[in-house]
Amino acid sequence: MSASVVDVLKWLRHGDFPDRADHWEQAGAVDAQGVREAADAGLLGLTVPRRYGGDGWSLPEVVEVHRTMAGFSPSLQSLLVVHSMVCQAVLRWGRSDLRELVLPELAAGTKIAAFALTEAESGSDIRSLRTTLAERDGEILVTGRKRWISFGELADVFLVFGMSDGGGSCALVPAGAGQRVSPEPPTTGLRASRLADIEFDATPTSANLAVGRPGFGVPHVATSCLTLGRVLVAAAAVGVAQAAVELATAHAAQRQVGGVALGDRQLVRGLLAEASILAEAAWAMVRAAAERVEERDPEAATAAGRAKVLAARAVSVATDHASRVLGAAGLAEGHRLTRLSQAARTYQVIEGPNEVLLDLVGADLLRREAATRQGGDR
Partner 1 sequence: MSGTKQVVSYDEVHQQVREYVLGLVGVSELDGDRELITEHVVDSVAAIQMVDFVERTFGIEVEDEDLELANFNTVNGLTRLVAEKLRLS
Ligand X SMILES: Cc1cc2nc3c(=O)[nH]c(=O)nc-3n(C[C@H](O)[C@H](O)[C@H](O)COP(=O)(O)OP(=O)(O)OC[C@H]3O[C@@H](n4cnc5c(N)ncnc54)[C@H](O)[C@@H]3O)c2cc1C
Task: Enumerate binding residues for ligand X (CB under 6 A).
Answer: 82, 115-118, 123-124, 148-150, 187, 190, 193, 195, 346, 349-350, 353, 355-356, 359
How far is residue 116's CA from residue 111's CA, in Å, rounded to a whole number? Answer: 16
How far is residue 81's CA from residue 1's CA, in Å, rounded to a whole number? Answer: 19
Given ligand X, partner 1, none, residue 109, with its beta carbon under 5 to 8 Å by kind, binds: none
Identity of the residue, 262 or 293, whose beta carbon is nearer to partner 1 in the bound complex = 293
Q: How far is the CB of 67 from partner 1 (least distance, A)?
A: 25
Given partner 1, ligand X, none, residue 181, with its beta carbon under 5 to 8 Å by kind, binds: none
How many residues in the chain?
378
- By DSSP bridging, strand 132-136 and strand 113-116 are unpaired
Q: How far is the CB of 306 from partner 1 (least distance, A)?
A: 12
Q: How far is the CB of 218 from partner 1 (least distance, A)?
A: 7
Q: Is residue 305 within 8 Å of 260, Cβ to Cβ? A: no
Task: Indicate the residue whose CB is closest to ligand X.
Answer: 123
Q: How far is the CB of 179 from partner 1 (least distance, A)?
A: 27
SS3 content of the chain, % helix, strand, coil (to 5): 60, 15, 25
Identity of the residue, 276 or 341, whose beta carbon is nearer to ligand X in the bound complex = 341
Q: Is residue 204 within 8 Å of 277, Cβ to Cβ? A: no
Given ligand X, partner 1, none, residue 47, with its beta carbon under 5 to 8 Å by kind, binds: none
Strand partners, 206: 139
Name the amino acid, one letter, at 3: A
Within 10 Å of residue 27's Cβ, how many Cβ atoms?
Answer: 11
Whole-number Cα distances in Å, 170 to 80, 116, 157, 181, 241 = 20, 9, 13, 19, 34
Residues that bind partner 1 (CB under 8 A): 93-96, 126-127, 166-167, 212-213, 215-216, 218-220, 222-224, 227, 295-302, 360, 363-364, 366-371, 374-375, 377-378
Identity of the residue, 165 or 355, whose beta carbon is nearer to ligand X in the bound complex = 355
Q: Is residue 290 within 8 Å of 60, Cβ to Cβ? A: yes
Given ligand X, partner 1, none, residue 377, with its beta carbon under 5 to 8 Å by kind, binds: partner 1
Q: Is residue 144 within 8 Å of 132, Cβ to Cβ? A: yes
Q: How far is the CB of 226 from ligand X (least distance, A)?
A: 9
Identity of the residue, 40 or 355, whose beta carbon is nearer to ligand X in the bound complex = 355
Identity of the residue, 159 or 325, whose beta carbon is nearer to ligand X in the bound complex = 159
Identity of the residue, 65 or 160, whose beta carbon is nearer to partner 1 in the bound complex = 160
